Amino acid sequence: MKIQYSLFDTLLEPVFVLNAEQKVVYCNEPAAIICGLSIRKITRGMKFLELFELSEPLEGLNQLLHISDPTPYKEVNFKTSQGGEGKVQITLQPIFDSMGDKNWIVFVRDVTLEERLQKKYRAELEQKEDVIKDLEDAKSQLENYSKNLEKMVADRTAEIQRMNQMMTALLDSLHQGFFIFNAEGKVLEVSSKACESTIECRPQGQNIWDVLKLPEKKVEGFQKWMQTMFMEMLPFEDLAPLGPPTYPHSQDRNISLEYFPLRSAPGTGSEGAMEGIVVVASDITSLVEAQKQAERDREYAKLIINLVQNKKEIGRFIRESQALLADLQIGLQSSWEHADSEFLFRQLHTLKGGAALFSIQDMAEHCHSAETMLAEFKEVASAEKFNALKEQSLHIASSFAGFIQKSEEVLGSSAMASERQLEIPVSKFQSALTKIEAKVHNNEVTQILLSEFAMESVGSFFSSYNEVAQRVASSQEKQLNPVEFTNADLKVLPEVYSSLFATFVHSFRNSVDHGIESPFEREEKGKPSAGTIKVHFSLLENNSRLLIRIDDDGQGVNPAKIREKLAKKNIDTSKESDHEVIQHIFDSQFSTRDQVTETSGRGVGMDAIKYAAEELNGRCWVESTYEKGTSLFVEVPYITNFYTEKKKSLKAA
């Protein structure tokens, strides 16, 4: 079969054509790249073995005239005269060029070039489709030949079959899924074998939306996009990214989809009409996994930094999480018919917030998955779903145990103590003794000891929440000033308030997610581009009550939106004021979000704060001016004594 070598210009793999003297008479762009030389220099009399130094002799290369069939692929290491090196698979086979001369094709598979050539191949794909179009035109012309030209038709058919076999072999050598669909959405006959692994089928003759496994509700939108593409109402490069970017692989492979126009031959001064859309499906699983691993490495680095910089907070988080996990297991021990979903939601959401705060990514992800399972269980309860939730809780516990091990490796076993450790400087201890000696009443002595050695500044519990807020702002491309604290040196007993303070992670996340607007929106409203969050601590009623106030200058709470949400739940708010209506943000499972995200949407965060405050015989409420900002108030008793059980202590107080 005679062949035009330009057919190989579109291939991603390197291709060389040698004459009987082993001189290169043709090579494509990938072949020139692997050699590190220009096509012109290579094809001006250079021999193949002048381009490469192979680790093993290539069978048949020195006896080209004796090769009549393709040789098996042979894997060898190579070095080029330009210093390049790698590993390739090489095969030789005879071929007749367009002049009828016998030459030999050298096909080279080089995994080291694949990533470098991929972008170039895709960029040139638009200009290299003529071969495919010529095949379809040739097939169409065959059908129009006269029956009196049966021999010519037979000869032409045989040639086309050989060409199709060659094209099929070339396409099948690609590692990407490759197929084309027309304006009616039908996939054409040309496709690569890699489609079987990337899109899990040979797509010929099927509807493109069926091939891509689009949900029924998305088919109509896809068809409108497809029609717009073929009508070319907008530039192709602007519309192409709006197509489905990925294929939902049944074996959890990551398959990316890219789209390129297939045009007819261009007319004078204009592009050819678009006759099809080429779809290239690439398996990027290893790339995605590498990106995930890099992200895990970054999160682990943050974890180490947190461990070193926040030793005291880490110890507090560990103790709080141990208690939360114990409560979670108790809640999961009940039968599925009597499971307390709200209680389980609170434990999971608070665990997730703490894990995210200290960059324990896998634990946060397991908690998020458990929340999703719990939401599905609450919608349609069953023993099977409850057992799956129990299983997921074991993953959370396992991830937390791994974190404990890493923490102990970095901080030592003393940091993992089951209770808070006090480190007392000698000078401070002596100062306390001096004060004790000057006092008479035992209760005063106790209070001095507690204040000096056991109580901690309330600000130490909240300082790390600045990072939480900044992280959410960064992920949403918002700007946020550092969180401001007032009266942060006020002292409290950690054993009394740590559970309450742990829930405030939800408040800071909500202030950014629901409150602070984008820089563009803020500037349109006449606000500074960066949002502000302020935290104020104070004592009320002769130092008997502790008040925590968190203000943000975001968009505020919209009572109308809350009324609309509650109406969908058949809750009548017609007799409630706007102030009363916005207090519903503390309702269990209430959220203004329509979709669940990593940051919000469960309707659990504010409920957790309210629950923890009420556990301390306290209360919480919000005040908000729409488009101006929101203030969260949490008021609880100010307790300055240790008690064995929190609830008993409150009753005693």
Closest residue by Cα to residue 647 from 509, 496, 467, 543: 496
pLDDT at 422: 62
Rounded CA-CA distance 90/49 in Å is 13
Mean pLDDT is lowest, of 119-123, 392-396, 467-471, for 119-123
The encoded tokens of residue 154 equal: 């037979």
524-549 pLDDT, tens digit per residue, is 999 999 999 999 999 998 989 999 99
pLDDT at 534: 96
Q: What stretch of H or E contains 534?
A: strand 533-540
Counted residue by residue, the chain has a size of 653
> 431 pLDDT exceeds 80?
no
What phi and psi values does residue 513 have, to the nearest 5 degrees?
-70, -45
One-letter amino acid of 204: Q
DSSP SS3 for 347: helix
Query: CA 61, 66, 71: angle at the middle one, nearest 5?
Result: 60
> 643 pLDDT exceeds 80?
no
- Kindly state the percentage of the chain with pLDDT values over 70: 77
> 215 pLDDT exceeds 60?
yes
- Kindly state the percentage of the chain with pLDDT values over 90: 27
34-54 pLDDT, tens digit per residue, is 888 999 998 998 988 888 888
Does the pTM surpass 0.85? The reply is no
Measure CA 197 to chain center. 23
Mean per-residue pLDDT, 140-153? 60
200-212 pLDDT, tens digit per residue, is 998 999 999 999 9
> 623 pLDDT exceeds 90?
yes
Mean per-residue pLDDT, 621-636? 94
473-530 pLDDT, tens digit per residue, is 998 999 999 999 999 999 998 888 988 998 999 899 989 988 999 999 999 999 999 9
* Pair 47, 19: CB distance under 8 Å: no
pLDDT band at 578 (very low <50, low <70, confident <90, very high): very high
- Name the DSSP class of 450: I
48-102 pLDDT, tens digit per residue, is 888 888 888 888 888 888 888 888 888 889 888 888 888 888 999 888 776 777 8
The angle that helices 465-475 and 341-357 make with each other, rounded to 10 degrees, is: 90
Rounded CA-CA distance 550/562 in Å is 21
233-274 pLDDT, tens digit per residue, is 888 888 889 999 999 999 888 999 999 998 887 765 556 788
3-state secondary structure 362-380: HHHHHHHHHHHHHHHHHHC
> 143 pLDDT exceeds 80?
no
> What mean pLDDT is reported for the chain?
81
Give the CA diameter of the chain. 126
Domains of the chain with CATH codes: 2-114 (3.30.450.20), 141-283 (3.30.450.20), 289-416 (1.20.120.160), 455-652 (3.30.565.10)
Rounded CA-CA distance 121/9 in Å is 10
312-354 pLDDT, tens digit per residue, is 677 777 888 888 899 888 988 888 888 888 888 888 888 888 8
> 591: which residues sit within 8 A by CB, 6+ positions away?
600, 601, 602, 603
Closest residue by Cα to residue 107 from 1, 21, 194, 28: 28
Q: Are strands 24-27 and 2-3 parallel, antiparallel or unpaired?
A: unpaired
DSSP SS3 for 237: helix
pLDDT band at 145 (very low <50, low <70, confident <90, very high): low
